[in-house]
Structure 1
Amino acid sequence: MTELTASMLPEAAQLFTRVFNNEPWNDSWTQEQSLERLTDIFNTPHYAGAAHFENGKMIGLIMGRGEVYFDAMHFQVIEFCVDTEMQGRGIGRKMLADFSKLLKDKGVAYIHLITMRDARTEGFYAKNGFSTDEGMCHMTAKL
């Protein structure tokens, strides 16, 4: 796992677009939108991100931001994906474990994220130590 730097953002955007335009999300990201989103995350205060490469090709990324809370430093994973063709091989599990250790070493006490309600997505995070926070709810409003 390698720190995800600004020079890697175009390749990260290609990966992001491929993954999230496929199952189970079926989004409609353009390359330009993906690059803008990942650049925005990269420029966020307390940013941290990492990429996983195989044979010189980026096949996984994880990005987010630290958040100062009254009790401890928290970290919000904003984007995390593994190339669709490489999923199911333990890459995501290893990336999440390595990234969690890196964050813990930096003083982060909690990681949180928002994901789609789907057996694949929720199941993955549940197997990796995450649980649904019954005391919170995610709300949206269309403007």
Structure 2
Amino acid sequence: MIRRFEFKDLDKCTLLFCEVFNGEPWNDQWSDRKAKEYLLDFVGTPGFMGLVAIQDEEIIGFICGYRKKWWENDEFFVNEMCVHPKDQGQGIGSKMFESLERELLAEDIKTITLLTDRNVPAEKFYKKNGFSEINRIVVFLAKNIKE
């Protein structure tokens, strides 16, 4: 079952997020507290929407993002998406995107955007689900600020 994210889902999504992204291939080091703060930032963003995938009364996947104003048409930017490692490869992520697309079309949003790392399974997953690279976006920049 896939349904809209509710605030009561935050703790379970936080635990799932940590399990997924602290594992391969990401190998992050999220604490439960930091991950919850991170996800709370998205929940508080104007235009936020999330979906959760539920199996046997447990959240096994989620996708969250927000409606982004753009000159051409509004877009939906995916902040995070994950599926429990034991449930990956079973079509759950694809079903979440199908549900998301239906929800967005009902709100007259016809574009989904996202960022992901290169050469990880997620890149292949997104491309398999109809996403393509935007060639004019060629660089992602960051700067560490030193004291």
Superposition TM-score, scaled by structure 2 size: 0.94
Work out the CA distance in 2 between the residues paired with 1:119 and 1:142. Answer: 24
Of 116-125 and 16-25, more deviation after overlay is shown by 116-125
Structure 1 residues 17-36: aligned runs within 5 Å: 17-36=18-37
1:52-101: CA deviation from partner (whole Å, max 9, x where unpaired)? 01000000000001111111111110000000111011111111111122
Structure 1 residues 26-105: aligned runs within 5 Å: 26-105=27-106
What is the CA-CA distance between 1:129 and the residue it aligns to? 0.4
Corresponding position: 1:5 with 2:6: yes
Amino acid of the residue matched to residue 95 of structure 2? K
The aligned counterpart of 2:143 is 141
Q: Secondary structure of 1:89's match?
A: coil
The aligned counterpart of 1:124 is 125
Note the residue ranges of structure 2 that are not aligned, 5 or more in a row.
none
Given that 2:15 and 2:32 are in contact with CA atoms closer than 8 Å, whether structure 1 keeps it comes out as: yes
Work out the CA distance in 2 between the residues paired with 1:66 and 1:133. Answer: 19
RMSD after superposition: 0.9
Identical pairs, percent? 33
Work out the CA distance in 2 between the residues paired with 1:142 and 1:75. Answer: 28
Q: Secondary structure of 2:110's match?
A: strand
Superposition TM-score, scaled by structure 1 size: 0.96
Work out the CA distance in 2 between the residues paired with 1:118 and 1:76. Answer: 21
Pairs aligned (count): 143
Greater than 3 Å deviation, 4+ residue runs: none
Work out the CA distance in 2 between the residues paired with 1:37 and 1:119. Answer: 22
Q: Secondary structure of 1:62's match?
A: strand
Amino acid of the residue matched to residue 25 of structure 1? W
